[in-house]
Amino acid sequence: MIEAYKKFWKGYVDFTGCSTPSDYWFAYLANMLTVIAFYVLLAIFGGIARATESSFLAVISFIILFIFFAFGIATVLPGIAITVRRLRDAGYHWAFIFLRFALGIGGIILLVLYCQPTKVEFPFNNFNNPLK
């Protein structure tokens, strides 16, 4: 999972390559775990700041919120790039990313496309198999 997350950040502007399903889903999982961690920290510090009316904890909560917002902004471009690479790896055109804006069914269609296996460009046999 760590390697997939490193690839996520290193290929933040690579719209030409391909991403395997495991790379895509591990990066997605790492982002979701980070978001959950930020929410937990905000809930803890924000709740304690409200209960004790501590201005110091309110400032800490605001700093965590600002870092969370910056993280969200920073992950937009790499998220689009890995989505385009995942669609390309599954054999679909990158423009299918705009299905996200289709109300209701668009997200479900994209989820199905993301789960498709890697499309092999040419069949492997004993003659042209680079592994043998």
Per-residue pLDDT reduced to its tens digit, 2-27: 888 888 888 788 888 888 888 899 99
Q: Mention every residue, 6+ apart, whose C-beta is less than 8 A from residue 113.
A: 87, 90, 92, 96, 99
Looking at residue 10, its amino acid is K
B/e letters for 103-126, b = 16+ CB within 10 Å, e = fewer, are: eeeeeeebeebbeeeeeeeeeeee
- Stretches in the chain below the pLDDT threshold 70: 120-132
Q: Note whether 15 and 84 are within 8 A (CB).
A: yes
Share of the chain above pLDDT 70, in %: 90
What pLDDT does 19 receive? 85
Average pLDDT, the chain: 86
Confidence (pLDDT) at 132: 45
First and final CA of the chain: distance in angstroms?
Answer: 29
pLDDT at 75: 93
**What's residue 28's pLDDT?**
93
Give the model's pLDDT for residue 103. Answer: 80
